[in-house]
Amino acid sequence: MLKLNKASGKKGIKLLTTLLTAVLMITGCSGGSGGSSEGNWVSIEDRYTVDPEKPAWQLDKKEEATDLTWYVNADWWNTDFGKDIVTKKIKEDLNINIKFITGDDTKLNTFFAGGDMPDLLTVFDSNSPVVQKAATWAMPLNDLAEKYDPYFNKVAAVDTLNWFQLADGKTYGYPNYSNTQEDYDSGNIPAKTAFIIRKDVYEALGSPVIGTPEEFQSVMKRIKQEFPALIPFGFNSIGEGTGSLGDTLQDFIGVPLETESGEFYDRNLDEDYLTWLKTLNTVYRDGNISDDSFADDGTAFEEKVKSGKYATMLLDGTPQQGGNLQIYMSANPGKEYIAIDGPQSTKGNAPTLNQSGITGWMINFISKDCKDPAKAIQIFTYLLSEEGQTLMNYGIEGETYQTKADGSVELLPAVKDLQLNNADQFKKDYRMGEFMFFGHDRHKALSADAFPEAIKQMQEWGKGKLKPHFILENISPDQGTPEARALSAINTKWNTTLVSMVRSKDDASYDNALAAYKSFLGENRWEEIVKVRSEKMKLNKEKLGIQ
């Protein structure tokens, strides 16, 4: 999954504030002056008769190729179409030509300010006005499916459709990497978080247990003594957030997601979590957490992962670090990183590791100005189907992969070699694993080639430890509200407070930093924010039928 670019995608969309909201309200998001208020409901009478048991792309007799424009709100998106094996097959099967347009919020804004709307549109922020007001500019997927392609309802997840339902009871956008409760229950969604330790260090120390704060502190001291060239403990780069010391650590030790009465729970002030932050402060004062770790950006952190500089790490995003972990593993046999139980709850809570939620990542729409909405919904159905998912992940059977006797998928040797040794050429020729508008992690379970060897043991360790965080998705106050502005200030304050607490020189400094943060909450509408979040959590439960 190409989430390395997620930050850049979300960074742009979050700039979409009051101006766009105003534009949306003025134009009605109908594509500006030339927009269609109801949508371009084309006739398919001479093309095909819909069949609920068969995808419409297999029925459509339209001879001439359909030309569609598809806007992706991300400058980094690869705009090629029809040159690599994946998009060439999509072009052939669906008889389409897609012209991709990319840009940032400025370009997105021009469409709603009166420019020609694209046929399809992909954005990255489910809380943005573009998504929340989709009924004014996009066509409802429910109606498109009924009129043009009822097979869509066989490949789309009901929970995902319900999750994106707007006030009119219809759904306009569909995401990729949307995990439902069924996906979690299947066991096919791998964990992406692990506490890892170098195997040679672990064995030299006698395979120690480090579940309690006292054990953790003791083992970090031993690492410093016996492996002085290593940094005893590392974590994801913090930047403007919390790295893996915030909600990742909270999930790791099983901090509750809600209060006993189902209201919003301030996990940052959980007693169990604060005990572990105090432990990290003690480890820091012992000299076993590097000051550099608080300043390192993503690149600096990755270099240390690649060179095995950390003895232990609380790592979030193992697939994203898979390449770096594999580089280290290949060069240092017997010293590779392995997952162990690591820090545990002082209250006896089990881990509640998070994965991609039901909101997903890229959200895809069909605009009311779409030249051929019948063909557009066929694209959605095709890419969501097993056939489309297999193509996007593994290519074409016999050309790029073979199916083994047990039903699993294996890349052909020449293709696998290119993937490992010439990534740029692999991307150009095949593009497998990249063209993922409707991608899903469950299809990774089809093949041992889906993930590098370096993280497979970590994923195995994580089995049974995932817990959906659906109730906490999209619960922040709406953009532009006083509560939203206050929450932004609180998040920034928590970032600096967390670092200050872990790096405190003494108990008094630690206590003062925490007290100052609590006071800041009281001064910045915290009670109102909690109320908003609790109300949105209730709505989430209603959408998903959670008691």
Where a domain ends, among 352, 386, 404? 352
pLDDT of residue 369: 95
- 201 and 225 share one domain: yes
Low-confidence winner among 5-9, 423-427, 489-493, 504-508 (lowest mean pLDDT) = 5-9
DSSP 253: T
Tens of pLDDT, residue by residue over 228-283, are 999 999 999 998 889 999 999 999 999 999 999 999 999 999 999 999 999 999 99
The count of other CB atoms within 10 Å of the CB of residue 24 is 23
Q: What is the pLDDT of residue 320?
A: 85
- In a domain? residue 423: no
Give the mean model confidence (pLDDT) for residues 107-117: 87
Q: What average pLDDT does the structure give for the chain?
A: 91
Q: Give this prediction's pTM.
A: 0.83
Whether 462 maps to a domain, the answer reads no
Domain identity same for 12 and 156:
yes
pLDDT-derived band of residue 125, with 50, 70 and 90 as boundaries? confident
User: Do 325 and 217 share a structural domain?
Assistant: yes
164 pLDDT exceeds 50?
yes
Last residue of a domain, one of 325, 352, 379: 352
Give me the helix-helix angle, 141-148 and 373-384, nearest 10°: 100
HSE value, Cβ hemisphere, 13 Å, CA-based, for 312? 29
Residue 228: which of 195, 196, 201, 199 has the closest Cα? 201
Tell me, yes or no, whether 443 lies in a domain: no
| Residue 366, in any domain of the structure | yes
Are 103 and 123 a contacting pair, CB within 8 Å? Answer: no
Based on the fold, state whether residues 323 and 210 are members of the same structural domain: yes
The whole-angstrom separation of Cα 508 and Cα 96 is 66
Amino acid (one-letter) located at 525: R
User: Which residue reads 């990542």 in tokens?
Assistant: 361
Question: Does residue 469 belong to any structural domain of this protein?
Answer: no
Q: What single-letter DSSP state applies at residue 66?
A: E
Q: Which domain holds residue 117?
A: 3-23+56-183+359-395
Rounded Cα distance, 404 and 291, in Å: 50
Same domain as 494, residue 369? no
Question: Could you read off the pLDDT of 331-357 as tens digits, one per residue?
Answer: 999 999 999 999 999 999 999 999 989
| Residues 470 and 540: beta-carbon distance below 8 Å | yes
Q: Which residues pair with 315 in a beta bridge?
A: 194
What is the pLDDT, as a whole number, of residue 354? Answer: 94
Same domain, 175 and 208: no
Mean pLDDT of 70-82: 94
Query: Please, what sign has the CA dihedral across residues 449, 451, 452, 454?
Result: negative
Helix (H) or strand (E) holding 403: strand 401-403
Element (H, E) at 539: helix 526-544
In order, the DSSP letters of 32-55 are GGG--SS------TTT---BTTB-
DSSP SS3 for 472: helix
* Domain finish residue from 320, 352, 384: 352
Residue pLDDT, tens place only, 405-453: 999 999 999 998 888 778 788 889 999 988 989 988 888 888 888 888 8
CA–CA dist 467, 499 (Å, integer): 27
Q: Average pLDDT, stretch 108-126?
A: 90
- Mean pLDDT over residues 496-508, rounded? 98
Within-domain flag for 49: no
For the chain, the distance separating the N- and C-terminal CA atoms, rounded to the nearest angstrom, is 32
Q: Residue 52: what pLDDT?
A: 96
Q: Same domain for 219 and 327?
A: yes
Q: Are residues 16 and 165 in the same domain?
A: yes
Q: For residue 342, give both structure tokens.
A: 């690591």
Model confidence pLDDT, tens digit, residues 353-401: 999 899 999 999 999 999 999 999 999 999 999 999 999 999 999 999 9
At residue 10, the pLDDT reads 39
Phi, psi of 206 (to 5 degrees): 80, 30
Give 51's strand partners.
54
Distance between CA atoms of residues 268 and 247, nearest Å:
8
Question: Does 184 have pLDDT greater than 50?
Answer: yes
173 and 245 part of one domain: no
- Which residues contact residue 293 at a Cβ distance below 8 angstroms, ignoring those fewer than 6 apart? 231, 234, 235, 238, 301
Torsion over CA: 179, 182, 185, 189 (sign): negative
Residues 347 and 364 in one domain: no
Check residue 292 and give its pLDDT: 95
Q: How far is CA 30 from CA 27, 113, 283, in A?
A: 6, 9, 57
Q: Clarify whether residues 346 and 379 are in a common domain.
A: no
Q: What is the CATH number of the domain that holds 115?
A: 3.40.190.10
pLDDT confidence tier of residue 13, bands split at 50, 70 and 90: very low
Q: How many domains does the chain have?
A: 3
Note the pLDDT of residue 19. Answer: 42
User: Tell me, what's the pLDDT at 36?
Assistant: 53
The pLDDT of residue 318 is 93
For 163, the 3-state DSSP assignment is helix
In this predicted structure, the answer to whether residue 11 has a pLDDT above a threshold of 90 is no
CA angle 375/377/379 to nearest 5° reads: 75
* DSSP state at residue 395: -
The per-type count for the chain, helices as H runs and strands as E runs, is 24, 11
Residue 384 lies in a domain: yes
Q: Report the pLDDT value the prediction gives residue 37, as an integer from 0 to 100.
A: 66
Q: What is the pLDDT of residue 6?
A: 39
The answer as to whether 29 is a domain residue is no
pLDDT for 510: 98
Alpha carbon distances (Å) from 496 to 238, 278, 493, 531:
10, 16, 5, 25
What pLDDT band is residue 21 in, cutting at 50, 70 and 90? very low
Q: Residues 54-62: what's their mean pLDDT? A: 98
Whether the pLDDT of residue 17 is over 60: the answer is: no
Taking 80 as the threshold, does the pLDDT of residue 219 lie above it?
Answer: yes
Residue 211 in contact with residue 200, Cβ under 8 Å? no
Strand segments (E) across 91-226: 96-102, 120-123, 173-175, 193-198
Q: pLDDT of 208-217, one tens digit each?
A: 999 999 999 9
Q: Tell me, what's the pLDDT at 480? A: 87
Based on the fold, state whether residues 217 and 321 are members of the same structural domain: yes
Tell me what pLDDT residue 33 has.
32
Q: Which DSSP letter does residue 185 get?
A: H
